[in-house]
Amino acid sequence: MKLQEKFIELRSKNQGILATNFYNFETLEGVLRAAKAKNHPIILQLTKSSIDYMGLPVAYSLAKSMLEYHDVEGWIHLDHGDSYELAAKCLDVGFDSVMIDASEQPFDENIAITRKVVQLAKNYGANVEAELGYIAKLGQNKDETGFTQPQEAKEFVDATGVNALAIAVGTAHGFYDSEPKIDLELISQIGEATDATLVLHGSSGVPGKTLTEAVDRGICKINLATEIKNTFMQTLKTKLAKNDEIDLRKVFPTATSKVVELVEQKLEIVRNQK
């Protein structure tokens, strides 16, 4: 099943889907073991930095073969693609879905590049996600606001033909200093204004009940990255502080297990069964 079709199925059941970033074999293993245990589909995401770290064909093949090995229903997605060229390379390798993030460009330029990627992706039957509004990236000012406006969202989706849209409703990338205020009503309004599948970036540290409500209001794809990295690395640091084991196969599994626990909790939230 194509990701676009899965979105429709999930939305009809008012369920969400978790989109998790992975950085290496261990974080991918953790995510997939959780998805298998919870019998829930998953979107595996790669950013440009992770692609540069592992190499595009290697990262793609690893995700593809591990989805098959663990027998999990899943899709491979480019997260925050910053150029047409990168999106094109990913589609050529076999990605099911790409994000083109031109949200920091003026509205018309965002439309122009998104439309171009949508046209290209049609040849591959792939899903495209774009972003509209200001969702602070790591290191950017989180107090600045640039929430997505429902009418602009409609105009953007109509003009580009994009299938999925990341919206700015109060989340930011990375952890939060205090509990973020998510504009839940705005999610409903954007959902009414457009048919696009709505995506929430920056879910790390957002309370479970808020995420559940976001799904109720129409968010379908929930991205999770920072908490995965953090859980893995903090567990490793703690473990290594106390022993001098040099066999990485005896050290990494503890951190992988913590990723499994984290992702299982998040999958329960997005499944949204009452």
**Which residues are near Zn ion by CB under 5 A?**
201
The residue whose two tokens read 């992988």 is 256
CB of 45 to Zn ion, least distance (A): 9
Q: Respond yes or no: is residue 82 known to be catalytic.
A: no
Q: Which is nearer to Zn ion, 191 or 202 (CB)?
A: 202
For residue 46, list its beta bridge partners: 78
**Where is 20: in which H helix or E strand?**
strand 17-21
Residue 201 vs 217, nearer CB to Zn ion:
201
Catalytic residue (choose from 71, 79, 158, 177)? 79
Q: Which is nearer to Zn ion, 87 or 236 (CB)?
A: 87
CB of 246 to Zn ion, least distance (A): 36
The least distance separating Zn ion from the CB of residue 201, rounded to whole angstroms, comes to: 3
CA pair distance 237, 240, nearest whole angstrom? 5
Q: Tell me which DSSP letter residue 19 carries.
A: E
Residue placing its CB nearer to Zn ion in the complex, 40 or 201: 201
Give the residue ranges of DSSP H helices in 124-207: 150-160, 184-193
- Terminal Cα-to-Cα distance of the chain (whole angstroms): 26
> What number of helices (H) and strands (E) belong to the chain?
11, 8
CB of 97 to Zn ion, least distance (A): 14
Active site residues: 79
